[in-house]
Amino acid sequence: MSGYERAGRQQRLREAEGYLDLLMVFADRWPPSLQSRDRLAQRALDILCELEPSAPDVGYVYYLQGQCLRTMEKYREALAPLRASADNDPENFHVWLAMGWCFKRINRLDLAIESLEEALSADADEAIVYYNLACYWSLAHNVEQALNYLSVAFDIDPNFRDLVDDERDFDPIRSNSDFRSLTSVVSSHNNWRGREQDI
């Protein structure tokens, strides 16, 4: 691949990333309509599908394709490019995280958990992986595993405590005394922050 072709490819990749950023970065604050969401995701997907699949960054291209489909809520379809990405770049924990996210939404908690275990093999220092594993084990009604992973997530990044109260994935184990004990700091922490903001 010539330098000119490489630069063109990079420009197309940045363009596809830009569309995805518009969808993902601002979605919580300014969620687009479904039609706008799908149109932007499809534009990114069209760009990515035009790229030659044999370049060294093919794993990343597959990852972005999977993210486009995931954004469009085409979870089953997203798994094929995400698997291809994992085959090309097994050390990228983001790929395994995205696969777990998709598996959860097609009611395959077993495969969601398996994907996140692979994410831990790729990078054992990411709190989000432990937190999501805690969520998935909670949905599987395995309190011990959920609490083990949640505890590690808190140790790595205490900010994850702030998410627990609103996390519906923990509803199956929320009444468990060990869960309440582990997360009791959350309530006092949130109350303290509230008082601080009132001052």
pLDDT band at 23 (very low <50, low <70, confident <90, very high): confident
Instruction: Tell me the CA end-to-end span of the chain in Å, nearest whole number.
Output: 61
Q: Same domain, yes or no, for 129 and 100?
A: no
For residues 77 and 38, the answer to whether their CB atoms sit within 8 Å is no
Whole-number Å distance between alpha carbons of 96 and 74: 17
Residues of the domain holding 25: 1-108
Mean pLDDT of 80-85: 97
Q: Same domain, yes or no, for 4 and 101?
A: yes
Report yes or no on 120 lying in a domain.
no
What integer pLDDT is reported at residue 96 of this predicted model? 97
What integer pLDDT is reported at residue 186 of this predicted model? 43
Q: Same domain, yes or no, for 138 and 97?
A: no
Mean pLDDT of 102-123: 96
Q: How many domains does the chain have?
A: 2
Q: Which two tokens stand for residue 4?
A: 């000119």
Q: What are phi and psi of 129, to 5 degrees?
A: -70, -45
Q: Which two tokens stand for residue 26?
A: 């601002």
Q: Same domain, yes or no, for 46 and 17?
A: yes
Integer CA distances (angstroms), 33 to 30, 55, 101, in order? 9, 34, 22
Q: Which residue has the tokens 């009791």?
A: 184
Q: Which residue has the tokens 């509230």?
A: 194
Whole-number Å distance between alpha carbons of 55 and 89: 13
Report yes or no on 15 lying in a domain.
yes
Mean pLDDT of 74-101: 96
Is the predicted pLDDT of residue 190 greater than 60, yes or no?
Answer: no
Report yes or no on 149 lying in a domain.
yes
pLDDT band at 185 (very low <50, low <70, confident <90, very high): low
